[in-house]
Structure 1
């Protein structure tokens, strides 16, 4: 019986810090999501319409016309670079280092990058066989995935 009580007490001590960290992470995610959506709503320079944050991944929804015809691959890279800079500024204000996924209604997910800007984007066009180009969106140089 004594061993069972000790085991329960030990388990409880292990769970308390984990719960506190989970709550802190959830609070940071919620605050970041709110900051991103406030920026999208209130700033005419915002390049995205809305944001969701889940499991340390920011998903940005952009309007189709930002990246569709007549915008070609160079325009996509430039757009994604500017978008990366906007999100980085907001992440620094919130003390987070999350990855970013960008999608629109027509193409779906067309770009992904980590906090440092390394990632990929799909080349211009529609369909499942679009090529992915590597890029560092912080510097606009070819990057690592």
Structure 2
């Protein structure tokens, strides 16, 4: 058993054998298509990484692809979701007028003598009497 884990090629030998026996494709042959699918899914849904991960596994299985390691797939999904989020922020920022940008920036500033911004104050809402919140 010890020799099994010491031999570097053993893992790859088993991958190759599984691929050959079951007729599976290598992950690398569909990785670009999967990235496109994850990007579209991230762009059009509010789904989190767990849901996208689960559906990405299904997507790979439907295409007879040998599944990559969990961290490989999770990293791909995280990176693509981050790219999609940055793209969304760019689109939204482009829709703002100069006045709207200024107004949003003002919400983030903490006025002199205050410990929170107007946005934080607005988010928390009015303080109910006797709640202990200040």
Shorter-chain TM-score category? 0.3 to 0.5
Q: Which has the higher contact order (CA 8 A, sep 6+)?
A: 2
TM-score of the superposed pair, with normalisation by structure 1: 0.31
From the two aligned structures, give the one with the greater helix fraction: 2
Question: Over alpha carbons, which structure has the higher Rg?
Answer: 2
From the two aligned structures, give the one with the greater strand fraction: 1
